[in-house]
Amino acid sequence: MRRKIALIGGGQIGQILAMLAAQKELGDIVILDVPDYVNVCKGKALDLMEMAPHGNYDASISATYDYKDIEGADVVIVTAGKPREAGMTREDLLNVNIKIITEVANGVKQYAPKAFCIIVTNPLDAMVYVFHKVTGFPKHQVVGMAGTLDTARWRAFIAMELGVSVADVAGTVLGGHGPDMVPLPRLTTVGGVPLTEIATPEQIEKLVNRTREAGTEIVKLFGKGSAFFSPAWSAIVIAESYLKDKRRVLPCAALCQGEYGVNGLFIGVPCLISAKGMEKIFEIKLTEEEEAQFQKTVASVTKTVSECKI
């Protein structure tokens, strides 16, 4: 019997999630969106089914506006919400997206209470917190996608800057999904060679700043809307590790309960993603400078979460 994947939100990210999940044959896919948009989602689902013969995948892809149709889902990926537009901060999204995420959380809690949930909606750090609070799901069952995306951007920019393969760039990014995130040049390597030995301090500073502003850079280029290819693939990487028990160590927004000195917040940290969900958080011993940067991102997340009033 195939696994079941529920995609809450059928917009730009949702449709790419559906395509990637189908191509990887992760399971049957249900796209859920509001009644006014569900016919568009049904069209996307049908289009993907018609692509299957050339894509060489077997998956049932459907769309609905009724939460009953996600019943028993193994994985839920949430992208529902208003996207960020040019001139809009992540915090500007809070009021409208809290209402949406609350509705989503109640639907998932009722019909897919055992699902491993991956939150993509921005502002990410606050939305995953709200989802967790509303559902009451245990910490291993809920993560935010952001750290995986932030690290992908960090690796991509390094490869672009140095003219090397992204496959040889390894590193991680900690903290909130915003301008205070903490890339770790000290622990980043290119083919096993420390980044600090092959990039100048000026290059590293430029790479850190570009990673922190990566989402804003794309928003400015689009003028309306935000990234969709890279967030979708980042969420699929997490879902695949869970569904296939790949036991990958991926930076995710996870609920810290003492780790890194943080209590009760979802912060981007290295996580073991297995068939158990978010099985373990790995703690990195930070330098004084890195610790100061990490405390700054924790303060930013704390402020955003406090504004949720939940």
| Encoded tokens for 86 | 């040019």
- Residues belonging to the active site: 177
Tell me the HSE value of 39 on the side-chain side, using a 13 A CA sphere.
Answer: 1
- Predicted local distance difference test score (pLDDT) of residue 89: 67
In whole angstroms, what is the distance from residue 206 CA to residue 203 CA?
5
Of 127, 145, 163, the one marking the end of a domain is 145
Tell me the chain's radius of gyration from C-alpha atoms: 19
- Predicted local distance difference test score (pLDDT) of residue 23: 98
| Encoded tokens for 162 | 């140095």
* One domain, residues 24 and 170: no
Whether the full predicted model's pTM is greater than 0.75, yes or no, is yes
Say how many C-beta atoms besides its own lie within 10 A of residue 224's C-beta. Answer: 9
Q: Write out residues in the chain with pLDDT < 50, as ranges.
A: none
Do 26 and 239 touch, CB atoms closer than 8 A? yes
| Host H or E run for residue 93 | none
* One domain, residues 170 and 119: no
pLDDT by residue (tens digit) across 49-94?
999 999 999 999 999 999 999 999 999 999 999 876 667 666 677 8
- Predicted local distance difference test score (pLDDT) of residue 88: 67
Q: What is the CATH number of the domain that holds 126?
A: 3.40.50.720
SS3 56: coil
Look up the domain containing 51 and give its range: 4-145
Do 234 and 218 touch, CB atoms closer than 8 A? no
- Please state the domain count of the chain: 2
